[in-house]
Amino acid sequence: MANGVLLGLTAALCWGVADFCLRGATHAAGTFRVLYFMQIVGLAALLGLAPWLGLSFAGATPGLVLVASALSLVILVGAALLYRSFVIGKLAVVSPIAASFGAITTILALATGERPTAPQLAGLAALLVGVTLSGMALTPRDATGGQPTAPGQRAEPAWRRWFGPGVPEALGATLLFGGAYFGLRYVAPQLGGVQTAMIGKAADLVALSLIVLLGWATRRALGRVGAPFAQGSVIPAARALAPRSGAFWRWLIPGAALDISANVAYNLGISGALTSVVATLSSLFTAVTVVLAWIFLRERLTRIQWLGLALILIGIALVNV
């Protein structure tokens, strides 16, 4: 159990700093490029370490490989939503929401046999309330009750007035992360923590490359008729895929390296300890991200958001009692 605690905390530290770095990369070159090149960097790092790690894929049956790949693709979609939320929302708000994936993973673990203590149940409740409060971002504009502020201007939907930019995307990422990281408990112990991460990165890279090829084929098929559509696509053309921005690479390389380190630590942790413990400890990454956002980005939160963040941190602590 001690190793599981250490690995969970390692994953939290690595994910916390990685999210801060990848936010910078996303602002520099967009979500898709971040997702694409972080797979390359992560896979290259694992392949470079493979000779020293003595990796063996003897237990990698086709079924396990397919399940590991599918779970990694679910996490990839969640990451796309999360990095999108980094661009349009406050890092100190969306990161704690995404960190609540640990509550979902814990609930699933409890439903399959793990038994919580009373403090852990209280922690789960605090997490759910904290997620709701931390996502509320009322502004003076919202004080009008959603009435148009100018002639002809339409009122925003109620859910958009109450939940700030990036919050719906972060909630979507939370749900996907919670289910997928729970599912890894059934493959990581058999494949190995590093092997599971390597298979996942390879699957993600193949999927993203297929998207690039599909985008290229679509642009070619549309020709001049579809030029406006092609230009507005969020998927960059193959010839423009690699960013020329030095800032992008300065943020991406450390972020991708830390992200794959966190994935390996998490996989190793759930291979030898309770999933509920490792998952909730890993979700402490939000504390790291919030501190970095406070120090370097000077992000300011409302009182209700601070209350939500406090409840999230209290809930995470209680779940780990």
Write the DSSP assignment of 124-190 as a string of letters: HHHHHHHHHHHTB---GGGGGTT--SSTTPPPPPHHHHHB-TTHHHHHHHHHHHHHHHHHGGGTHHH
Q: Rounded CA gap, 65 and 204, in Å?
A: 13
Q: What is the mean pLDDT of residues 282-299?
A: 81
Count of Cβ atoms closer than 10 Å to residue 296 Cβ: 11
pLDDT at 252: 95
151-178 pLDDT tens trace: 555 555 555 555 678 889 999 999 999 9
240-284 pLDDT tens trace: 687 777 899 999 999 999 999 999 999 999 998 888 888 888 888
106's CB contacts (< 8 A; 6+ apart) are 114, 116, 120, 124, 275, 276, 279, 280, 319
pLDDT at 41: 95
Q: Which of 284, 74, 69 is nearest to 180 (CA)?
A: 74
Q: Mean pLDDT, the chain, as a whole number?
A: 82
User: What share of the chain in percent tops pLDDT 70?
Assistant: 81
Q: Rounded CA gap, 250 and 100, in Å?
A: 28
pTM, to two decimals = 0.81
Is the model more confident about 261 or about 99?
261
